[in-house]
Chain A
Amino acid sequence: MIQRIYSTLPTFKCLDFRPGLNILIAQKEQGATSKQTRNRAGKTSLIEIVHFLTGADAGKDSPFRTEALVNESFGMEFDLGGERVSVERSGSAKSKLQVSGSGFAGDICRITIKEWVEALGESVFGLNAGQDAAGRAPTFRSLFAYFVRRQISGAFTTPEKQATMQQVGDYQVALMFLLGLDWKIASDWQQVRDREKTLAELKKAAGAGAFGSVIGKASDLRTQLTVAEARLGKLKSQMGSFRVLPQYRELETEADEITRDLNKLANDNTIDIAMIRDLEIALHVEAPPSLADLESTYAEAGIVLPGTAVRRYDEVRSFHESVIRNRRDYLSGELSSAKQRLESREQQKAKLDQRRSEIMVILRSHGALEQFSWLQGEVGRAEADAESLRQRFEAAEQLEGAQNELEIERNRLTLRLRRDFSEEGQRLADAILAFEETSGRLYESAGSMQVDTTPNGPVFGIQMQGSRSKGIKNMQIFCFDMMLMRLCAKRAIGPGFLIHDSHLFDGVDGRQIISALKAGAETAEELGFQYIVTLNEDDAFKETVEGFDVREHVLPVTLTDATEDGGLFGIRF
């Protein structure tokens, strides 16, 4: 419980608390409405002081950083782990605070906020500071905010959240912890949600713009990869069977020359063959004249060419014969030499042809060195291509597969949660009954709590009949907090106090308020915790209820916004 809240600020109204219900009354001037400055009476400031002293961040907007308060320190004396402890902190040195108490080495020690929060977490909720950091673990700050709800963070909108901005994972973990259930399930759920978020962003990026060209669609990439791998395999086998021939180029040139030579020989042959044909025709067709023709010509010459020195006939005949023989010899000679040329060319051709086919065989089965290097380069390139495609394909597959994986993970978690709920049915029942118990004490029932397993983790809902007025919503928060107190008392954890800001009672029916205060007082007494409430005066004394007197629990200090020094700080700033 909290003993005392004090400050070095001289005008500060020091508050002393008693066990059980404590009501801090604030008088509101007529007509003071929305035009109020931030600190009128200071009801909400009390809540802020408690948070400030339990390690809340003190940002630039914090009242403790304002000029009026920055050099003042605030303090709280309270029970922590069975020890009386004082903690003091000021806005000027916001990262350190002073703690004194038997639980801390020395009489007074300065520790950092982080250390303080760890110490609080350990002794208030039994949190292990060195908890594995995988996923979300319950933290002191997130749990403590349920016991001292802050209007500033919008803690009075719905029972299961202590801040409007609180993430699903965060309150699931916190409440599972407070209800004594397996909070690791909720923590794993948050991990799934985080991964889904990342995945969604990645997918958006991959679908269009930056990553589109880098990753692409798995189906397209599979095709590309198959093609690339096939090409690589082909190149590799080519390289495996590649035989380098150093004289490859020389052989190639030789083969070219042989081809040229063969063509030339074939051309020469064609010429010779035509010639042979001509010669043969000449030999066959050109019949020499018969001797009778010669005789008649000889006789005629004597007649037509008188006076010419005519040779004797047998001289003429022998000339005639030798001329004929001479031509015949010449033609035959030509013919046989042409045939010989053909013959030798054929032989040459056969030799060349054989050589050429030998070379061709070698050229077909071997390759030049530069070809081999080129092939090596190609293999390297193809390998790099295939590798990059493989990686992109894997990335795309992972991207597409992760979705299914997460679906499966969610289903697994749902099952885990169901199992946990059935195994820990007693605890759930305790919680539901605790809620019911408080709800039943109210003037109008606030409904009943339900804890469900959904594909999105545990859901804490309130089922209720009748009106859904803001007042009823607030009473649900009241019942919920009382339930938490009950469960914590049973497990001997928790801060041992519950503070309700007057905002909780805004717009709540007067009879509802009084029955809530009565229920709170009784519960606090029964379980031995401290219940601190700030109330507007007109809310407090509007109604009465039998067997409960509000005045018994009102603190001697009363706040008012009517005067400059009537508020908690005693000054306006």
Chain B
Amino acid sequence: MILPSKHLSQDRALLTVGVGILQHLGQPKTVSAVWEELHRRGEEAQHSATPLKFDQFILALDLLFLMGAVQLDEGLLRRKKP
């Protein structure tokens, strides 16, 4: 799930998705805003027949949180300063 494997392409691995999320979090944003952007970008790229799923996105966020990369303040996601 986290790393790409035989059954999971690289860009669907949670870690890859998480990196994409972090790239979008230059500014604190709502969960929806980040989701919209990722979602849109996936649609624009059209490099895969299967666009990013919402539950994968959520799991990627969970992963980032447990790694201490993001936090949620008053409904806004922000990158955590190391």
Contact = CB atoms under 8 A, between A and B. Distances in A.
Interface of A: 285-289, 293-294, 296-298, 300-301, 304-305, 308-311, 315-316, 319-320, 322-324, 326-327, 329-331, 334
A322 B74 CA distance: 10
B68 A320 contact: no
Interface in B27-82: 30-32, 35, 54-56, 58-59, 61-63, 65-68, 71-72, 75, 77
Contacts of A285: 54
Contacts of B67: 301, 305, 308-310
Contacts of A326: 30-31, 72, 75
A489 to B, nearest CB: 139
Given A294-B59, A322-B72, A324-B58, A330 B30 contact: yes
A330 B74 CA distance: 12
16 contacts: A287-B54, A288-B54, A294-B62, A297-B2, A298-B66, A305-B67, A311-B66, A316-B65, A319-B61, A319-B65, A322-B72, A323-B61, A323-B77, A326-B31, A326-B72, A330-B31
A154 to B, nearest CB: 122
Contacts of B71: 319
A256 B31 CA distance: 44
A293 B2 CA distance: 12
Contacts of A300: 1-2
B59 A311 contact: no
Contact of A301 (B30, B66, B77): B66
A293 B32 CA distance: 21
A323 B54 CA distance: 12
Given A297-B2, A327-B35, A330-B30, A309 B68 contact: yes
Nearest to A313: B66
B63 A301 contact: yes
Given A323-B31, A326-B30, A289 B66 contact: no
Contacts, number: 80
Instruction: Give the most central of B61, B66, B75, B77: most A CB within 10 Å.
Output: B66
B45 to A, nearest CB: 19
Nearest to B69: A308
A322 B35 CA distance: 15
A14 B61 CA distance: 163
Interface in B6-23: 14
Task: Tell me the dominant secondary structure on chain B's binding face.
Answer: helix
Nearest to A330: B32
Contact of B62 (A297, A304, A329, A334): A297
B68 to A, nearest CB: 5
B75 A288 contact: no
Contacts of A329: 75
Contacts of A289: 55-56, 58-59
A286 B54 contact: yes
B3 A304 contact: yes
Contact of A297 (B1, B35, B54, B77): B1
Contacts of B55: 287-289, 293
B68 A297 contact: no
Nearest to A327: B31
Contact of A305 (B2, B54, B58): B2
B71 to A, nearest CB: 8
A555 B71 CA distance: 169
A472 B61 CA distance: 151
A289 B61 CA distance: 12
A202 B63 CA distance: 115
A304 B66 contact: no
Contacts of B3: 304
A277 B45 CA distance: 23
Contacts of A298: 62, 66
A286 B1 CA distance: 19
A315 B67 CA distance: 12
A285 B68 CA distance: 29
A414 to B, nearest CB: 111
A283 B53 CA distance: 14
